[in-house]
Amino acid sequence: MDDVTAGPAVPMVVRRINAPKDRLIVALDFPSADAAMELVGRLDGCCRWFKVGMELYYAAGNRVIEGLRERGYEVFLDLKLHDIPNTVAGAVRSVTGLGASLLTVHAGGGGPMMRAAVEAASLPGAPKLLAVTVLTSMDKAELHAVGVSDAPAKQVLRLARLAQTAGIGGLVCSAEEVEAVRKAMGSEMLLVVPGIRPQSTLARSDDQRRVATAAEAIARGASMLVVGRPITQAADPARAASGILAEIAASQQG
């Protein structure tokens, strides 16, 4: 991955979120920086936030974050860190100063790991941490297969409380659990919800099981929404993004 050659970037302080553009994160799930930035160009003016996940970050490294920041966009760095506490803390320090505003760790890594991440994220220029609870690709059967006997909703709440106790101020959960998580965590917890689909595509089968529309997720208490394929694979990505933004705006007025 690229070395950091520029001076430290200052990530956005995630403030109280109101505008639809503050709530939408477009997932740049691409295998190269060129493909990702081509999509970014097609969405120019439509979006404020982009998610850089493992596929793109492993392919392009720090330069894709720097490229997005140079264009004025906010970056959600979705690396889902999960390792021993010292290693995760080191990873948090390694990405501090790149300009990413949000960074994910796995809540399943446990309290000591999350506390180490929180301590590392106290440095200037560090991103705000989000704890991933249960992946949207997992249903009850998948959880049982890895030794978790509880339903996703119960496991999400367990991990959410663990993350909050560790000092993490944001969570990633599906729309199915976000209402219960909001009630349990309070109004200040940042709740980021992936698996967002237009109503017309909810019945389609893909690797995400626990999905919802943007309006449903906002109504249940989501702070921000992550949308990938419904925008990135659309014939007209800007039009698709505008449709999601309109749905968010309408749900806020309702």
Would you say 63 and 30 are in contact if contact means Cβ atoms under 8 Å apart?
no
Cα-Cα-Cα-Cα torsion 169, 138, 222, 235, nearest 10 degrees, comes to 120
d(CA 119, CA 51): 24
Query: Among 21, 51, 80, 183, which one carries the catalytic annotation?
Result: 80
Q: How many residues does the chain have?
A: 254
d(CA 92, CA 119): 9
3-state SS assignment for residue 13: coil
d(CA 178, CA 234): 27
Nearest to 129 by CA among 94, 178, 171, 165: 171
Would you say 103 and 128 are in contact if contact means Cβ atoms under 8 Å apart?
yes
Per DSSP, 199 falls in state G
User: End-to-end distance of the chain based on CA atoms, in angstroms?
Assistant: 45
Residue with tokens 């220029």: 125
Residues 6+ apart with CB under 8 A from 163: 107, 114, 131, 133, 171
Is 140 among the residues known to form the active site?
no
Cα-Cα-Cα-Cα torsion 139, 106, 218, 248, nearest 10 degrees, comes to -110
> Active-site residue numbers?
80
